[in-house]
Amino acid sequence: MLNYAINYDYIVKNLCENRKVIESDCKGKCFVKKELAKTEKESNNAQNIKIAGLDVFLSHEILSFSSISKADLKSEKPNSNHIQLYSSEYFSRIFHPPLV
């Protein structure tokens, strides 16, 4: 559609099937319709790709859980009932303050 907007004059004067009909209000829409149909047909053919297998790799270090005894547990907020029982490097690698 962006190509139609950019090349509007060229499409109307040279590629429109109804360019010789004076009273036609097609203005290149016939060309765009054919191009969209061709693109849709090509994309439907491309969607038939099948994946034979998928390899998954999980690092033990990234998804490790620490064994903390209740005596070692300290809440970061004194009046909070939330205690973090696990430590995961996975989320700390993603969610962190911006690096300078």
In a domain, 99, yes or no: no
Give tens-digit pLDDT for 58-100: 666 655 555 555 555 555 556 666 666 666 666 777 777 888 7
Q: Residues near 85 by Cβ (< 8 Å), separated by ≥ 6?
A: 65, 68, 73
In a domain, 52, yes or no: no
Predicted local distance difference test score (pLDDT) of residue 17: 79
Domains: count for the chain: 1
In a domain, 14, yes or no: yes
Which of 68, 96, 93, 63 shows the shortest CA–CA distance to 83?
68
For the whole model, what pTM was predicted? 0.38
Name the burial class of residue 52, with classes exposed (0-12), middle (13-18) and buried (19+) by CB atoms within 10 angstroms of its CB: exposed
